[in-house]
Amino acid sequence: MVKRISPVREVHPPKGSIFAAHDASTTDFTYTLQPRDVNYPIGSNDVPHSMTGVDKLREEGLLGSGIRVAVVDDGVDYKHPALGGCYGDPDKCLISFGYDLIKNTTDPYYDCFGHGTHVSGLIAARTNLYNFTGVAPKVTLGHYKVRGCNQSATTELLMSAFKLAVQDKADVITCSMGSYSGWSEEPWGVLIQNITDSGIPCMVAVGNDGYDRMFYASAGADGKGAIGVGSVDNLMTPMILVNARYSYKQDTKQFGWTVIANHDFANGTYNLHPLNSNSSVQIDACEGLSSNTPDLSKYIVLIRVGGCSFHTKVENAVKAGAKNILFYNNGPGTYDVDITYSNIGGMGMVPATTGEEWVKLAAKDIPINLHMVAKASASTFFAKEVNKASGGYVHVSSEWGPTNDLAISPHILAPGGFMLSTWPVALGGFAVLSGSSMAAPYLAGCIALLLESRGKPQIQTIQSLLAATAKPKQLNDGVSTFPFLSPVAQQGAGLVDVYDAIHSTVVLNVSSLSFNDTQFLAPAWFSITNNGTGPANYSIGQVSCGTVYTLASDGTTIPEGISYGHFMQPVNSSALLNFSSTSVSISQGQTVVVKVMASPFGGLNASRIPIYSGYVTLNSTNGDSFSIPYLGAATVMRNVTILDTKHGKNYLMSSDSTHPVQSGQQFTFVNPGVHNKASNVAYPIFDLVLSMGTRLIQGEVLSENRTLLGSLPNYPQNYISRTVGPGTNVSWKGELPGHTCATGNNCAPAGVYSLRMRALRIFGEPNSDLDYDVVETPQFRIQYSGT
């Protein structure tokens, strides 16, 4: 008997940023391969290790020895010297097990793109010319390739890869791919739960669509037992740039730049013209340039990022004659931009410090000459700057939770912003990337160290140790830091501190607390076990992160693409926690249980789905401190709208028009049996937009007297994420339930019909009609030509 049907979804690495990569023609890989018995001292570019306690564990000799870490990704260039240079032999090769699920071979080699190679280096890269190492360079690394050069990964391939990793006796599994769901019951999430129940920790990157706001948790990462990992920015910003020189007066200096959209510069010397003499102004070229602007075709024009779009800046500069442009950043690092212009020669970006230096010189009327070399023939220029804007805080694109049923996601943070790691040799060898794709493997390396040190504790113990010792971070919008903690929906437990996790003598039985919504608000419990050598005394309290509204002031939409500081700052209202005891004394080897009740504050607009959060704090008399993230909704989730009909959403339109279909409108198909082959035939389309996720959505065809005839093609569907961006076109071309209308006998006869969409509300009961949002379209007529 079929119990459930779930779609096979296409999955991708989370959208991230490639900040710089070597050019392969200039890379020197002649350095000596490092043997496995080297102790791998911390390198000068291992700054992330100082953020997480990995540096102190390296001093204690922990490098992941004896731990098998499996990576599920798009393949790996194991020929890279920093990744061992070989494959298969566990005595010689860093990467010694895995599988190619695209070609069905045991060889996961891949150099079409570098995502999997970068991920692998963050876990276990050995000493290299850029003087960095992976978190655990002595692990035994495996790789499961689920994406080809011209073939996307699917949830089916991901699940197969996870199963193979279990068969190959992996101790840790990490994956930086996925799609969006927010429901732990989706098949991949269920598989992960089964794997973690067997004792294998599984990490999944939460995604990089943080600008799309709340309730957008990633599939896999939302599975019960999974560890969803968000991203924190590196304290330093390493950059691998194209090398060039600039001169002024009698001085000549080197600088680095990044090509934008393949707009390489021709070799030569150019005069530099900054558009503004104030490096703090971000409105360069946001409006038409003044009439006294010189002929810009004679210069490389320097423009500051910010204030308006790249497109606007380029268009205004081009109107003033610009042929070559260099942007300088208003934040850390440099990056590429997906814009191409036929009337632009060279275009690139330099770091903020470089641009600011040039502006200061120009303000003193000091001419600056840039000596450019095309990227194809230039050497590389490595630079690093202190990340003053966002270093140590949550990366601006890191995904927000919670899950649709109010479980905390992400669970924890790890370094993922501006991360230097390996890249396929053919594509340059090394690169700097940002995103939760980098954070998940970093955490996998941390867990490898924990397993090496503490033996292989239960999954619940691993998760609680990591969460209790993590360090919550203040809210940061990529430029400024606010004087309050970021909501738990963005950071989970906070930034991992694996040193404290390994050395903790206290174990909690939970890694988070969810108080659900106001309809199902219930007490929570946690226990504290003292494994130390003496008694421990703790005071128990709370630190609030305030409350964040999910919906905009209209109470129906989730704003998209709006900067943090503009919308996502918490309001000054939260919840009061009441504890069964605010201080506990625990003898050696004993356990104490604490009950917690949450009382959401009043004055909140429940229709906007307020999400309150914070941390239960445990502070001891000997200086130890621990925390447990908590979260809840100050509303009834069962009342939340799923199918919003305001703002032109969830309506019936024609395939040849976006205007709403009026009652009685007629659609004329060609003769039954061939009408689906005619591309010029108009047919009804329901524009489906889910304001929030739903466990079940039904698409139905109704007769003239509103009798249910059956389901639309591909419906019903389960475990769907809320809609981000354009809606889903649900079309009906006359198919009867269970048929494709390939012959006239399987098509709906000419007549009057309507469509109906039914979306189950969060926490709703599938068998209760009252728990569905329902939208029924106006009735329309179909007929067939020639009848």
- Please identify, among 587, 603, 637, the residue that sits at the C-terminal boundary of a domain: 637
pLDDT along the chain (787 residues), means of 10: 49 52 43 63 95 97 97 96 94 95 94 93 95 97 92 87 97 91 87 95 92 84 90 96 94 94 93 83 80 88 90 91 93 85 91 94 94 92 92 93 93 97 94 95 98 94 97 91 93 98 96 94 94 92 92 73 55 89 94 94 88 95 91 94 88 90 88 52 91 94 93 91 88 76 70 96 95 96 77
Look at the chain and count its residues: 787
632 and 693 share one domain? no
Predicted local distance difference test score (pLDDT) of residue 504: 95
Residue 13 lies in a domain: no
Per-residue HEC secondary structure of 60-106 comes to CCCCCCCCEEEEEECCECCCCHHHCCCECCCCCCCEEEEEECCCCEC
Do residues 595 and 534 touch, judged by C-beta distance below 8 A?
no
Token pair in block for residue 7:
């779609």
Same-domain check for residues 425 and 534:
no
Q: Is 73 a catalytic residue?
A: yes
Considering only CA atoms, which of 654, 684, 683, 667 is closest in space to residue 783? Answer: 667
Q: Would residue 437 show up in a list of annotated catalytic residues for this protein?
A: yes
Distance between CA 325 and CA 493 in Å, rounded?
A: 43
Backbone angles phi, psi at 770, to 5 degrees: -70, -15
Q: Are residues 659 and 772 in the same domain?
A: yes
Catalytic residue among 115, 263, 411, 675: 115
> Do residues 481 and 474 lie in contact, with contact meaning Cβ atoms separated by under 8 Å?
yes
For the chain, how big is the Rg over CA atoms in Å?
28
Residue 35 maps to a domain: no
Specify the pairing of strand 268-274 against strand 369-372.
antiparallel
Residue 617 lies in a domain: yes
Residue 545 sits in a domain whose CATH number is 2.60.40.10
Same domain? 607 vs 697:
no
What's the CATH number where 310 sits? 3.50.30.30
| Residue 329 tokens, joined | 């950043």
CA 742 and chain centroid, separation: 42
Give the separation between CA 73 and CA 75, rounded to whole angstroms. 6
Please check whether residues 266 and 341 belong to one and the same domain: yes
Among 22, 23, 49, 73, the active-site one is: 73
**Domain interval for residue 140:** 44-235+387-503
Domain boundary among 637, 667, 687: 637
Whether residues 401 and 355 fall in one domain: no
- Kind and range of the H or E element at 269? strand 268-274
Q: In Å, how far from its chain's centre is CA 684?
A: 35
CA dist., res. 554 & res. 646, Å (int): 10
Question: Which CATH number covers residue 651?
Answer: 2.60.40.2550
54 and 117 assigned to the same domain: yes
pLDDT of residue 269: 96
Which domain CATH number covers 84?
Answer: 3.40.50.200
Q: 174 is written with which tokens?
A: 């990490």
Co-location of 629 and 715 in the same domain = no
Query: Is 115 a known active-site residue?
Result: yes
Indicate whether 134 belongs to any domain.
Answer: yes
CA distance 506 to 521: 28
Q: Which of 181, 390, 437, 721 is catalytic?
A: 437
Among the candidates 616, 637, 658, a domain finishes at 637
Residue 4 lies in a domain: no
Q: Return the C-alpha torsion angle 84, 85, 89, 91, nearest 10.
A: -40
> Using an 8 Å Cβ cutoff, are 208 and 233 in contact?
no
| Same-domain status, 66 and 212 | yes
- For residues 485 and 629, give the distance between their C-alpha atoms in angstroms, rounded to a whole number: 12
The verdict on 465 and 476 lying in the same domain is yes
Q: Which pLDDT belongs to residue 11?
A: 53
Q: Are residues 101 and 225 in the same domain?
A: yes
Q: How many domains does the chain have?
A: 4
* C-alpha to C-alpha distance for 480 and 505, rounded to whole angstroms: 36
Q: Which residues contact 768 (CB under 8 A, 6 or more apart)?
A: none
Output the pLDDT for position 766: 95
The reply to whether 700 falls in a domain is yes
> Do 276 and 258 lie in a common domain?
yes
What is the pLDDT at residue 670? 72
Can you tell me the distance from the alpha carbon of 501 to that of 216, in angstroms, rounded to the nearest whole number?
Answer: 29
- Asked if residue 531 belongs to a domain, the reply is yes
Determine, yes or no, domain membership for 350: yes
pTM for the whole thing? 0.92
Measured N-to-C along each axis, helices 436-454 and 115-124 cross at an angle, to the nearest 10 degrees, of 30
Burial of 743 (0-12, 13-18, 19+ CB in 10 A): exposed
